[in-house]
Amino acid sequence: MRLSQSLIPTLKETPAEAQIASHRLMLRAGMIRQMASGIYAWLPAGQRVLSRIAQIVREEQDAAGAQEVLMPTIQSADLWRESGRYEAYGKEMLRITDRHERELLYGPTNEEMITAIVRDSVKSYRDLPQLPYHIQWKFRDEVRPRFGVLRGREFLMKDAYSFDLDYAGALAAYKKMMLAYMRTFQRIGITAIPMRADTGAIGGDLSHEFHILAPTGESGVFYDSAFETGDAAQATDIEAFYERMTSIYAATDEKHDEAVWAQIPPERRREGRGIEVGQIFYFGTKYSKAMEFAVIGPDGQKIYPEMGSYGIGVSRLVGAIIEASHDEAGIIWPDAIAPWRAAILNLRPGDAATDALCEQLYAALGAQALYDDRAERAGHKFAEADLMGHPWQLIVGPRGAANGMVELKRRATGERLELPVDAALARVCG
């Protein structure tokens, strides 16, 4: 992408409405624009990050054996009357009436809909387990939408749902999802800690929330420093992995247990704040019974499937990652989800050698590069590249270009190196 032709409306001024770093930086870097309270349009720089995160989430769900589907955003009120949640959900649900006076809603989650779909097509115990998921927009009419995409009203969620014949099967699905989540966050390049959680409105008896550590997080968190090593997801045996994840202490303030905490050696106790980026639940037969979904078992008996649901806040992750990874100058993208791997900064557009070298770099990197070809001051280009957070900057000026040299800057460390073109490209692509 040539910056001169792009739709990346960066801002010099800090927008007054943004209270926290990620919201300010996403607006300033031209990633999003607010269209209504808690509702955002994603511009190219934002959309690229969002879709990279979604793709990693998708690959790890697929690797765990989940099947991707796509359910609609609009649901019928009758579906929610079956579970009793249509009245219970309250004002967070956006209710809609169509031209025939039929009651609809914009889905805040999909337990009812997926249960109805599986109920319609699965009749025998032989057809279970099932583990469908989708990545779809949700709407919750939050009382106080704030912090940009961290607490929006419309937001992108990955939600998976497990249907098993018995508790053992449901627990196996739960463990598989926990492992998939840890792998997902590790691939994205962030540390997320699984915390024992309240099951909240959904109810049930087993739940973990996944939190990214950031000073602006809404939850207080207590955890054992063993989670800082980040090698948790390396476990080859899922039982050993789950045992390890659930035996090391980590809890949000709601579930914090002082007695257990006191037994952890003081040098391993960590306290901080966290942003919830995902949550997994086991809730048994709550929906299958309420919605009369049973399969016929081997002996002709009815079996109500044991269920779980597994969410990741895909759009919230974009903001949460920035909260965890930025500095005074701007965003610092982890390599795996950066909108572009590298920015090419042409410090003298119009200088033949500089232009030629930039074009050569741009041809080599293709869609992985954002080429700043604008007739702007060098200082402005440096500042905007730092703001946008590209992992690498390839800086080209007339002096270096005359000798085929490029300056390579690593955003995360600030390290700068003079390199021949091929060596610089090898670093960026390596």
Site of interaction with ligand ATP (CB under 6 A): 140, 142, 151-152, 155, 157, 276-279, 311, 313, 315-316
Q: How many CB atoms lie within 10 A of CB 201?
A: 11
Is position 184 an interface residue for Mg ion (rule: CB under 5 A)? no
Q: Would you call 239 helix, strand, or coil by DSSP?
A: helix
Q: How many CB atoms lie within 10 A of CB 421?
A: 18
Question: Cβ-closest residue to ligand ATP?
Answer: 313
Q: Number of helices (H) and strands (E), helices first, in the chain?
A: 14, 23
Residue 155 contact, options ligand ATP, Mg ion, none, Cβ 5-8 Å cut-off depending on partner type: ligand ATP
370, 3 in Cβ contact below 8 A?
yes
Please, which residue, 151 or 409, has the CB nearer to ligand ATP? 151
How many whole angstroms separate alpha carbon 285 and alpha carbon 256? 28
Residue 351 contact, options Mg ion, ligand ATP, none, Cβ 5-8 Å cut-off depending on partner type: none
Piece of the chain touching Mg ion by CB under 5 A; list 30-38, 57-65, 278-286, 394-402:
278-286
Residue 164 contact, options Mg ion, ligand ATP, none, Cβ 5-8 Å cut-off depending on partner type: none
DSSP 337-367: G-S-SEEEEESSTT-HHHHHHHHHHHHHHGG
How many whole angstroms separate alpha carbon 139 and alpha carbon 158? 13
Please, which residue, 52 or 140, has the CB nearer to ligand ATP? 140
How many whole angstroms separate alpha carbon 312 and alpha carbon 54? 10
The first and second tokens of residue 31, run together, are: 């990633």
Residue 277 contact, options Mg ion, ligand ATP, none, Cβ 5-8 Å cut-off depending on partner type: ligand ATP
Applying CB under 5 A, the site for Mg ion has a residue count of: 1
Tell me how far, at minimum, the Cβ of 377 lies from Mg ion, in Å. 46
- E-strand stretches of 12-125: 32-36, 39-42, 67-68, 74-76, 94-97, 103-106
Tell me how far, at minimum, the Cβ of 75 lies from Mg ion, in Å. 20
Residue 152 contact, options Mg ion, ligand ATP, none, Cβ 5-8 Å cut-off depending on partner type: ligand ATP
Q: Would you call 59 helix, strand, or coil by DSSP?
A: helix
Tell me how far, at minimum, the Cβ of 338 lies from Mg ion, in Å. 27
Tell me how far, at minimum, the Cβ of 41 lies from ligand ATP, in Å. 15
How many whole angstroms separate alpha carbon 10 and alpha carbon 232? 38
Residue 132 contact, options ligand ATP, Mg ion, none, Cβ 5-8 Å cut-off depending on partner type: none
Residue 181 contact, options ligand ATP, Mg ion, none, Cβ 5-8 Å cut-off depending on partner type: none
Question: Cβ-closest residue to Mg ion?
Answer: 279
How many whole angstroms separate alpha carbon 51 and alpha carbon 43? 12
Piece of the chain touching Mg ion by CB under 5 A; list 73-81, 145-153, 187-195, 271-279:
271-279
Pick from 129, 99, 137: which is nearest to 316 by CA? 137
Q: Which DSSP category does 122 fall into?
A: -
How many whole angstroms separate alpha carbon 148 and alpha carbon 144? 11
Please, which residue, 83 or 354, has the CB nearer to ligand ATP? 83
Task: Find the binder of Mg ion among 279, 309, 315, 354 (CB under 5 A).
Answer: 279
Tell me how far, at minimum, the Cβ of 332 lies from Mg ion, in Å. 27
Pick from 40, 34, 1, 41: which is nearest to 17 by CA? 34
Residue 391 contact, options Mg ion, ligand ATP, none, Cβ 5-8 Å cut-off depending on partner type: none
Tokens 């579930």 label which residue?
A: 255
242, 273 in Cβ contact below 8 A?
no
Please, which residue, 256 or 341, has the CB nearer to ligand ATP? 256
Please, which residue, 195 or 406, has the CB nearer to ligand ATP? 195
Residue 324 contact, options Mg ion, ligand ATP, none, Cβ 5-8 Å cut-off depending on partner type: none
Please, which residue, 109 or 279, has the CB nearer to Mg ion? 279
Residues that bind Mg ion (CB under 5 A): 279
